[in-house]
């Protein structure tokens, strides 16, 4: 990786072009539009030749770190290998060239993929039906909560406007609830990091719409009392929502439907190997149990009643439409390829291998990093910073989680998720996934141990890290106090 300091606008020269389009031989031209409807000022797009465009973006890519570059132990993000065959299949013209409003008889293959993937997801999760329309995990949460509210509204139960969210939850959970018009009630965690049943029970009254849970939770711990939680919430008339961000731990081993969840979402870009793309596009399919299977958003893809044909239809009983068309189809194709490549046998190993990797890393580092909950973890775990006693350092050296994360970049690893969950002050959340070899994990363990030793002997090395990256620590305060959000000539 090396620093490259250009913006595309700075390569622009009057008279250059990077396009190759046919000559305009039409007689009718947009010049003849009424003056008042025409653009007056320039949109300010750059003028750059094709080779310069290519080199510019290849240079930019050289400042980026991806899963194909190296180990990416980002907790809660499941940065597993993104298979190349997925990409190839998704780009087949027979899929990529389909217009979303084409008549059903011309898109039977695409609908076969939609329903085939939905069927696999049902089997893997124990749900009864899936919509693949939501575009991302947070979009899935919002869709799932809309279904939850729609369920209560359809029963005439209008007072259920509260949703219970654990204090360890992802930030999207309370935000999705608020966007959906629900009031958030927080339930506390026990010192062991699990939902506190004593805190939960008094919250369960007839205004509760449901509870949102991540299991294993954001500490990587399995909520052992899930069956009891499920029966208590159900007895109070609420529904259970499963945030599938951490589903990789359970894939092939435990199904949310069997734990008593009524609604859930999956992140295809986490558990089902589709690339994160620098922040998207993802896909956040939502599954529902049999008793609310009729409440999915429009459009629904299904077999037509009197024929073998698939059709796309409105669902008047659901919450409405939450996407322009039927989801990020290109992403759905990739996830379906992944599931069919895995097959019914290999899929059973995904969860166990990811949990094996996480526990191996945890056990190999817990003498040098503080482990707040010392027990079996699932696919990820959380350290609360360096263990000052065992690492031979003291508080005065003052190396923080941020320093450790930045120093890891120098060792050629991406940093883990840091300062989340909010339960601890120095959280380091590590998720290795099942596609990393023991050699990779060992190299990471060695780097983490070396950094812990450096913290004791050369703390400044950490505090000034990273040293080997294209840029060093950015001044985030400057960015926020004097926001520069676009390029201007002479800037």
Partner 1 sequence: MGFAYFPHTDEDIKEMSGRIGINSLDELYADVPRDVIYKGDFDIPDGMSEMDIRRKFGEMAGRNTGLTIFAGGGACDHYSPAVISSIISRSEFLTSYTPYQAEVSQGTLRYIFEFQTMMAGLTGMDCANASMYDGPTSAAEAVMMSAACSKKKKRVLLSGTLLPQVLDVVRTYARFHGIETSEVPGNGGVSDLPAIGRELQGGDVAGVLVPGINRFGIIEDMEGLAEKVHEAKALLIMYSDPSSLSVIRCPGEWGADIVCGEAQTLGIPLNFGGPYLGFICCRKEYVRKMPGRIVGETVDADGKRCYVLTLQAREQHIRREKATSNICSNQSLMALHATVYLSLMGNSGLKRVNELSYGGAHYLHARLMETGLFADAFPGRPFLKEFAVVPRMPVRELQDVLLKNGYFGALPCGEGIVSFCVTEKRSRSEIDGLVSVIDNSFRQR
Binders of partner 1 among residues 248 to 277 (CB under 8 A) are: 252-255, 258-259, 273, 275-277
The candidate with the shortest Cα–Cα distance to 115, out of 392, 396, 348, 326, is: 326
Indicate the residue among 272 and 388 with the shorter CB distance to partner 1: 272
What values do phi and psi take at 302, rounded to 5? -155, 170
Q: Cβ 336 to partner 1, closest distance in Å? A: 8
Region of 38 (left: φ > 0; alpha: ψ -120 to 50; beta: rest) is beta
Neighbour-count burial of 463, counting CB atoms closer than 10 A to its CB (0-12 exposed, 13-18 middle, 19+ buried):
middle
Indicate the residue among 305 and 475 with the shorter CB distance to partner 1: 475
Judge contact between 301 and 327, C-beta under 8 A: no
Q: Which two tokens stand for residue 32?
A: 């003849």
Indicate the residue among 5 and 395 with the shorter CB distance to partner 1: 5
101: contact with partner 1 by CB under 8 A: yes
* Residue owning tokens 């060792």: 411
Q: Cβ 43 to partner 1, closest distance in Å? A: 5
330: contact with partner 1 by CB under 8 A: yes
The candidate with the shortest Cα–Cα distance to 225, out of 251, 253, 201, is: 201
Task: List binders of partner 1 among 185-204 (CB under 8 A).
Answer: none
Indicate the residue among 181 and 398 with the shorter CB distance to partner 1: 181
- From candidates 156, 316, 483, 490, binder to partner 1 by CB under 8 A: 483
Q: Which helix (H) or strand (E) holds 446?
A: helix 438-457
- From candidates 115, 128, 184, 392, binder to partner 1 by CB under 8 A: 184
- From candidates 211, 414, 421, 451, binder to partner 1 by CB under 8 A: 414
Task: List binders of partner 1 among 428-467 (CB under 8 A).
Answer: 434-438, 464, 466
Is the bond preceding 238 in cis, omega lying within 30 degrees of 0?
Answer: no
Q: Which two tokens stand for residue 88?
A: 């190839």
Q: In the chain, what's the furthest Cα-to-Cα distance?
A: 81
Cα–Cα distance measured from residue 415 to residue 71, given in angstroms and rounded to the nearest whole number: 9
Q: Cβ 388 to partner 1, closest distance in Å? A: 24
Task: List binders of partner 1 among 229-248 (CB under 8 A).
Answer: none
Q: Cβ 418 to partner 1, closest distance in Å? A: 9
Indicate the residue among 415 and 452 with the shorter CB distance to partner 1: 415
294: contact with partner 1 by CB under 8 A: no
Q: Which two tokens stand for residue 72?
A: 């990416």
Indicate the residue among 209 and 391 with the shorter CB distance to partner 1: 209
- From candidates 75, 166, 174, 238, binder to partner 1 by CB under 8 A: 174
Indicate the residue among 102 and 390 with the shorter CB distance to partner 1: 102
Task: List binders of partner 1 among 377-406 (CB under 8 A).
Answer: 405-406
Cα–Cα distance measured from residue 368 to residue 448, given in angstroms and rounded to the nearest whole number: 9
281: contact with partner 1 by CB under 8 A: yes
425: contact with partner 1 by CB under 8 A: no
29: contact with partner 1 by CB under 8 A: yes
**Which window, 29-37, 206-214, 286-294, 448-456, contacts partner 1 (CB under 8 A)?**
29-37
The candidate with the shortest Cα–Cα distance to 154, out of 315, 19, 17, 33, is: 315
Q: Which helix (H) or strand (E) holds 449?
A: helix 438-457
3: contact with partner 1 by CB under 8 A: yes
- From candidates 320, 394, 425, 458, binder to partner 1 by CB under 8 A: 320
Indicate the residue among 255 and 370 with the shorter CB distance to partner 1: 255
DSSP 358-384: HHHHHHHHTTTB--SS-S--SS-EEEE
Coil, helix or strand for 164? strand
Indicate the residue among 96 and 290 with the shorter CB distance to partner 1: 96
**Which window, 109-117, 203-211, 380-388, 453-461, contacts partner 1 (CB under 8 A)?**
109-117
Cα–Cα distance measured from residue 34 to residue 98, given in angstroms and rounded to the nearest whole number: 35
- From candidates 204, 208, 288, 326, binder to partner 1 by CB under 8 A: 326
* Residue owning tokens 């990811």: 354
């Amino acid at each position: 990786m090396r620093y490259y300091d250009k913006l595309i606008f700075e390569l622009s020269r009057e008279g250059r072009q990077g396009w190759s389009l046919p000559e305009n031989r039409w007689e009718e031209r947009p010049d003849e539009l009424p003056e008042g409807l025409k653009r007056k000022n320039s949109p300010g797009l750059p003028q750059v030749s094709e080779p310069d465009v290519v080199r510019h973006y290849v240079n930019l890519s050289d400042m980026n770190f991806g899963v194909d570059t190296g180990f990416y132990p980002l907790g809660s993000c499941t940065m597993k290998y993104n298979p190349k065959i997925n990409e190839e299949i998704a780009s087949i013209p027979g899929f990529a060239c389909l217009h979303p409003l084409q008549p059903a008889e011309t898109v039977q293959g695409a609908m076969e993929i939609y329903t085939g993937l939905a069927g696999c997801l049902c089997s893997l999760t124990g749900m009864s039906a899936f919509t693949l329309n939501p575009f991302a995990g947070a979009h899935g949460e919002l869709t799932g909560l809309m279904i939850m509210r729609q369920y209560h509204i359809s029963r005439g139960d209008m007072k259920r406007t509260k949703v219970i969210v654990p204090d360890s939850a992802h930030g999207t959970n309370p935000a999705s609830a608020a966007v959906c018009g629900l009031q958030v009630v927080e339930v506390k965690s026990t010192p062991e990091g699990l939902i506190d049943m004593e805190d939960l029970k008094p919250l369960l009254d007839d205004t509760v719409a449901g509870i949102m849970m991540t299991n294993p939770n954001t500490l990587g711990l399995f909520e052992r009392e899930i069956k009891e939680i499920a029966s208590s919430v159900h007895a109070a008339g609420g529904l259970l929502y499963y945030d599938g961000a951490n589903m990789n731990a359970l894939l092939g081993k435990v199904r949310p439907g069997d734990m008593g969840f009524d609604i859930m979402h999956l992140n295809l870009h986490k558990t089902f190997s589709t690339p994160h793309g620098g922040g998207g596009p993802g896909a956040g399919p939502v599954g529902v149990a049999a008793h609310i299977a009729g409440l999915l958003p429009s459009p629904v893809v299904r077999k037509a009643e009197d024929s073998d044909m698939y059709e796309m239809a409105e669902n008047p009983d659901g919450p409405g439409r939450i996407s322009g068309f039927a989801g990020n189809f290109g992403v759905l194709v990739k996830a379906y390829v992944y599931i069919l490549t895995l097959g019914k046998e290999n899929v059973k190993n995904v969860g166990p291998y990811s949990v094996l990797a996480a526990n191996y890393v945890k056990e190999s580092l817990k003498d040098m990093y503080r482990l707040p909950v010392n027990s079996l973890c699932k696919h990820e775990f959380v350290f609360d910073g360096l263990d000052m006693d065992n690492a031979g350092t003291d508080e005065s050296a003052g190396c923080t989680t941020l320093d450790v994360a930045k120093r890891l970049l120098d060792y050629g690893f991406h940093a883990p998720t840091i300062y989340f969950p909010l339960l601890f002050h120095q959280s380091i959340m590590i998720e290795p996934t099942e596609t990393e070899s023991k050699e990779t994990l060992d190299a990471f363990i060695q780097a983490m141990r070396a950094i812990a030793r450096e913290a004791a002997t050369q703390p400044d090395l950490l505090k000034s890290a990273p040293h080997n990256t294209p840029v060093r620590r950015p001044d985030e305060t400057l960015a926020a106090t004097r926001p520069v959000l676009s390029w201007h000539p002479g800037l």
